[in-house]
Amino acid sequence: MFKIDTKLVSAAQEGNQQALETLLLGVQDNVHNLSMRMLVNPDDAREATQEILILVLTKLSTFRHESAFTTWVYRVAANYLGTARKIRDRDPGLSFAVYAADLESGLMADPPVAPDDALMVNELRISCTMAMLLCLDLNHRLAYVLGDILEFDHLQAAEILEITAAAYRKRLSRARRAVIAFTSSHCGIVEKTARCSCPRRLPVARKLGRVRPDEASHARQGAHSYDDVQRRVDSVVGGLKALELQRGVQGFRCPPNMLSRIKEVISPPD
């Protein structure tokens, strides 16, 4: 994350407009990355990022410099993503059993090869890796994303979620076990004997509109290649395979002009 100077935060709290804009620009990528990993849908993540940054702006006076500013920003973001009614209303309520059944339907044993297959297989890999976390409820998803994907230590993650370190460790452990169990049984990248693999899944995913060449934004934005992620997963053992799979999804940068949109929201034109 962007290095936040305490003087910059103080200047923003005192109403310095340039300091405030610099502060928001410094944290917006991290807020958006957390939103994407929690919500998956780009439109929902953009909306959540905007709402969170507005909360950071409006609650800035309440920051008491008792923790790192970045920790406070993540706390604001996590609270919104875990409790906001619009987030809970839109949550798909997936289960690992339902997701597994969907993945294993329509698989093709010997799929035909198309010119854009490498790109589309990688897009499918990224989309599926992200979507499987939707099978965790919001609280366990937050614990998993903070701990295993963003790599916060337990004390900092617990501080962000405003729970004890012991409670956080239990929450993360439950989430981790569920993700490991699922990928070990159903993901061909993690377990070669699993029924589903991205190449076998690609034809039906294309047919259902789950991946489209004109919308392969994840795979086009400097993502790790499918083969690279497979090598990384193959290089570790046990539960670390699921971890390498998840960390094989690149970080997400905030869409351009987010600050301009926030200004429009908080100061609509006459």
Tens of pLDDT along the chain (270 residues) come to 456 889 999 999 999 999 999 999 999 999 999 999 999 999 999 999 999 999 999 999 999 998 899 999 999 999 999 999 999 999 998 999 999 999 999 999 888 878 788 899 999 999 999 999 999 999 999 999 999 999 999 999 999 999 999 999 999 999 999 999 999 999 999 999 999 999 999 999 999 999 988 877 887 776 899 999 999 999 999 999 999 999 999 999 999 989 888 888 777 555
Contact 89, 186 (CB under 8 A): no
25, part of any domain: yes
- Of 88, 89, 73, nearest to 31 by C-alpha is 73
10, part of any domain: yes
138, part of any domain: yes
1, part of any domain: no
Phi/psi-derived region of residue 93, left when phi > 0, alpha when psi is between -120 and 50, beta in every other case: left
Give the 3-state secondary structure of residue 45.
helix
| The predicted structure's pLDDT at residue 269 | 56
Contact 96, 175 (CB under 8 A): no
129, part of any domain: yes
CATH code: domain of residue 33: 1.20.140.160
- Of 136, 132, 141, 184, nearest to 161 by C-alpha is 141
CA neighbours closer than 13 Å in the CB half-sphere of residue 117 = 12
What does the alpha-carbon distance between residue 16 and residue 60 come to, in Å, rounded to a whole number? Answer: 12
235, part of any domain: yes
Structural domain range at position 134: 6-266
- Of 249, 250, 248, 201, nearest to 229 by C-alpha is 248
202, part of any domain: yes
What does the alpha-carbon distance between residue 251 and residue 260 come to, in Å, rounded to a whole number? Answer: 22
Considering the entire predicted model, what is its pTM?
Answer: 0.93
| The predicted structure's pLDDT at residue 110 | 86
Residue pointed to by tokens 């039906």: 204
87, part of any domain: yes
Question: DSSP letter at 197?
Answer: -
- Of 17, 25, 22, 20, nearest to 257 by C-alpha is 25
Count the domains in the chain. 1
Give the 3-state secondary structure of residue 145.
helix
